[in-house]
């Protein structure tokens, strides 16, 4: 099979998975025990009002029609309206998505280079003092809840030394430096959340490459170890490392939901939690779809990269 | 025929001979937490919801004004309840919910995983594809959707998180069983006419037990972190129950007190439940790490 055909197949599978995701998201939020119309109206639910709301929301249509209508809206950019304030979800979600995206990009731009350097240092001398230190510290970091890292950072840098604000409060006239300053603590927490996994996986990947025949040859020729690492091992390990990064950025989603809530960042994660608390079903559906789509896309990217990098995967047994 | 005495050392004794001080301390910590979980009502000085003072965030060691003669050893929470007692009950709820989740996930995941590996063919393909589909969701989103529609009762939380976790256990159990199923003793068992159940439980399970135990430890820490993250978001364990993640959420305002009065003792009120979680999860992970290294067992890669 040619490379393009193989990647095309992966993309098709990705679209198919997204369709399944949409069915499950829709079904998951539709099988409510209570009636949505009654839930919106609360105590002021008279039979006439309930009937009116049901008609306006199209709740009397058969399920598959409502699903198709909803999916059509999603694809054409019509995200529906919030049950809480009746506002169009498109505008709100757009702003929130931008903030979350900004946060994720900042995190990735710090975490990715840092984890590659630490992973390489670790692999330089396996079981050496540095490797064991990095291994123990990352193992401990993996075990920490995200909010503990956040609270400790806030206690140190916002409460004790007052370097950074504890709560992100960005006004529209703030300059880029103000925004960066406000985002230091959330980004630092998120970096800690993904760093440990990335460092450990980078180390494994680089060590795998280091035990291969060409590297042994280079060793026997007497090339210094750091040179082997940078010139010979890194290019070969680059593709699996990119794979590792894509997978870990997908893990970032759970962290983002917690960190946005804690630091009051008006991002999509916080919006999701608010919508769940308000039982704002259309909003939950849209948020879940966006997060799932990003997750599927990142996994897909990781797959495609490993197919390009590893010729053996192009000819599945 | 007698075997040389030295070769009769039990695997357990061999394992214990490699015990490091760190792992010993971790094990002690875990035993301590298990005792707390079992004997919570005996250990907690006050009740789970008992209000001892009318002030928010009483400092460590202060007297409970609403109940003369009472002392808030680790301080009071936002409602004036004793932090120490809430920690004890919170640890009980968090750890037992996490344990229930991991047990259920293992029961489901390893049964179906072994089944897929033993049956192979179409059954394996179908089960694996279903799990692939489920794994392509971020797990926090599944949990949020379920909680939106069904509410967050203990039953809903345990079953939902266990199902999410079971997909991961399935992959590990299947991968382990795949290596075992090609061994000669399985063929021998098949030839002498043993049934599916015998092969799964008498042949595959004992040989997969070591790595599965390590995976159980890892899954248990994930369950603790997941459930406390949900509770921290206000979508997991609901008040008035105490839960370590919920306690962090409830007392996050203590950080503002710490900032306003420049007194770090307030911050400790909010940090202590999170520290409890970290102590347990770090201990479990260090023990698992040591166990894997000293037995030479390894978990299947790329999961």
A262-303 pLDDT, tens digit per residue, is 888 888 999 999 888 887 888 888 898 898 888 888 888 888
- Comparing A166-180, B13-27, B62-76, the range with the smallest average pLDDT is A166-180
pTM: 0.87
- What's the rounded Cα separation, in Å, for the pair B281 and B292? 16
The verdict on A149 touching B (C-beta cutoff 8 Å) is no
Model pLDDT, residue B112: 93
Instruction: Give the span between the Cα atoms of B98 and B157, in whole angstroms.
Output: 10
Q: What is the pLDDT of residue A313?
A: 64
CB pairs under 8 A between A and B: 136
Q: Using the predicted structure, report yes or no on whether residue A83 has a pLDDT greater than 80.
A: no
Percent of chain A, pLDDT > 70?
90
Q: How far is CA B290 from CA A264, B17, B73, B286, B299, in A?
A: 39, 12, 35, 6, 13
Please say if the pLDDT value at position B13 is more than 90.
Answer: no
ipTM, 2 dp: 0.83
Whether the pLDDT of residue A71 is over 50: the answer is yes
Mean pLDDT, residues B33-56 taken together: 87
pLDDT per position as a tens digit, B174-218: 989 988 888 888 889 989 888 888 888 888 898 888 889 989 999
Examine the pLDDT at B241 and tell me if it is beyond 90.
no
Strand, helix or coil for residue A173: coil
Interface contact A155-B264, CB threshold 8 A: yes
* Partners of B71 in beta bridges: B63
pLDDT band at residue B101 using 50, 70 and 90 as cut-offs:
very high
Find which of A17, A25, A151 to mutate to test the B interface (most B CBs within 10 Å of its CB): A151
Contact B278 A276 (CB under 8 A): no
Chain B, window 117-176: residues with a beta carbon less than 8 angstroms from a chain A beta carbon: 133, 136-142, 144-150
> Quick check: A182 pLDDT over 70?
yes
Give residues with Cβ within 8 angstroms of B242, minimum separation 6: B48, B86, B87, B89, B90, B93
Helices A234-263 and A89-124, axial angle in degrees (round to 10): 130
Contacts of B163 in chain A (CB under 8 A): none
- Chain B CB contacts of A291 under 8 Å are 138, 141
**Structure-block tokens of residue A92:** 């709100």
Q: What is the pLDDT of residue A107?
A: 92
Higher-pLDDT residue of B279, A75:
B279
B113 or A235, which is more confident? B113
- In 3-state terms, what secondary structure has residue B72? strand
What's the first-to-final CA gap in chain B, in angstroms? 45
- Residue A39 banded pLDDT, cuts 50, 70, 90: low
Lowest mean pLDDT among A136-145, A147-156, B129-138, B245-254: B129-138
Residue B303's pLDDT is 44
- Percent of chain B exceeding pLDDT 70 equals 96
Q: Is the pLDDT of residue A36 over 80?
A: no
Residue A172 pLDDT greater than 70, yes or no: no
To the nearest whole number, what is the mean pLDDT of chain A?
Answer: 82
For residues A157-181, average pLDDT: 78
């Amino acid at each position: 099979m040619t490379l393009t055909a193989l990647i095309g197949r992966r993309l098709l599978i990705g679209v198919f998975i997204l369709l399944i995701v949409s069915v499950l998201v829709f079904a998951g939020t539709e099988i409510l025990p209570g009636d949505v119309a009654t839930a919106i109206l609360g105590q002021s639910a008279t039979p006439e009002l309930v009937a009116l709301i049901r008609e306006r929301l199209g709740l009397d249509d058969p399920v598959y029609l409502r699903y198709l209508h909803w999916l059509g809206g999603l694809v054409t950019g019509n995200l529906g309206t919030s049950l809480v304030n009746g506002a169009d979800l498109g505008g709100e979600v757009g702003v929130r998505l931008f903030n979350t995206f900004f946060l994720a990009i900042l995190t990735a731009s710090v975490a990715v280079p840092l984890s590659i350097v630490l992973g390489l240092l670790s692999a330089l001398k396996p079981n050496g003092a540095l490797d064991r230190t990095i291994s123990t510290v990352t193992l401990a970091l993996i075990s920490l809840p995200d909010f503990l890292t956040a609270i400790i950072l806030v206690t140190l840098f916002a409460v004790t030394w007052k370097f950074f604000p504890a709560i992100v409060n960005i006004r529209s006239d703030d300059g880029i430096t103000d925004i960066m300053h406000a985002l230091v603590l959330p980004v630092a927490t998120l970096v800690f959340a993904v760093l440990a996994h990335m460092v450990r996986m980078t180390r494994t990947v680089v060590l795998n490459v280091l035990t291969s025949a060409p590297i042994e040859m280079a060793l026997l020729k007497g090339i210094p170890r750091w040179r082997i690492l940078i010139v010979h091992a890194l290019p070969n390990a680059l593709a699996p490392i990119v794979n590792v990064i894509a997978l870990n950025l997908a893990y970032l989603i759970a962290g983002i939901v917690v960190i946005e809530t804690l630091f009051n960042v008006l991002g999509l994660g916080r919006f999701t939690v608010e919508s769940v608390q308000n039982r704002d079903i259309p909003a939950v559906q849209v948020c879940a779809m966006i997060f799932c789509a990003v997750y599927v896309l990142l996994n897909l990217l990781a797959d495609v990269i490993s197919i390009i990098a590893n010729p053996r995967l192009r000819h599945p047994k | 025929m007698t075997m040389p005495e030295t070769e009769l050392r039990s695997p357990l004794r061999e394992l214990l001979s490699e015990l490091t001080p760190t792992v010993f301390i971790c094990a002690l910590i875990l035993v301590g937490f298990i005792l707390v979980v079992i004997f919570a009502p005996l250990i907690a000085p006050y009740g789970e919801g008992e209000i001892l003072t009318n002030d928010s965030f009483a400092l460590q060691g202060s007297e409970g004004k609403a109940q003369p003669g009472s002392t808030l050893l680790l301080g009071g929470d936002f409602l004036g309840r004793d932090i120490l007692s809430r920690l004890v009950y919170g640890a009980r709820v968090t750890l037992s919910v996490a344990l229930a989740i991991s047990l259920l996930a293992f029961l489901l995941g390893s049964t179906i995983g072994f089944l897929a590996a033993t049956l192979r063919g179409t059954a394996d393909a179908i089960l694996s594809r279903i799990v692939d589909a489920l794994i392509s969701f971020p797990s926090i989103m599944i949990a949020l959707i379920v909680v939106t529609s069904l509410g967050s009762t203990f039953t809903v939380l345990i079953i939902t998180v266990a199902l999410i976790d079971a997909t991961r256990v399935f992959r590990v159990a299947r991968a382990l069983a795949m290596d075992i199923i090609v061994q000669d003793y399985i063929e021998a068992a098949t030839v002498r006419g043993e049934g599916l159940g015998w092969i799964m439980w008498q042949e595959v399970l004992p040989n997969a037990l070591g790595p599965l135990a390590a995976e159980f430890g890892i899954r248990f820490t994930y369950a603790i972190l997941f459930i406390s993250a949900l509770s921290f978001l206000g979508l997991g364990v609901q008040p008035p129950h105490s839960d370590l993640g919920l306690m962090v959420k409830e007392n996050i305002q203590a950080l503002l007190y710490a900032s306003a009065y420049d007194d770090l003792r307030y911050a400790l009120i909010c940090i202590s439940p999170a520290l409890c979680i970290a102590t347990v999860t770090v201990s479990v992970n260090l023990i698992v790490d040591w166990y894997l290294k000293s037995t030479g067992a390894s978990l299947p890669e790329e999961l």
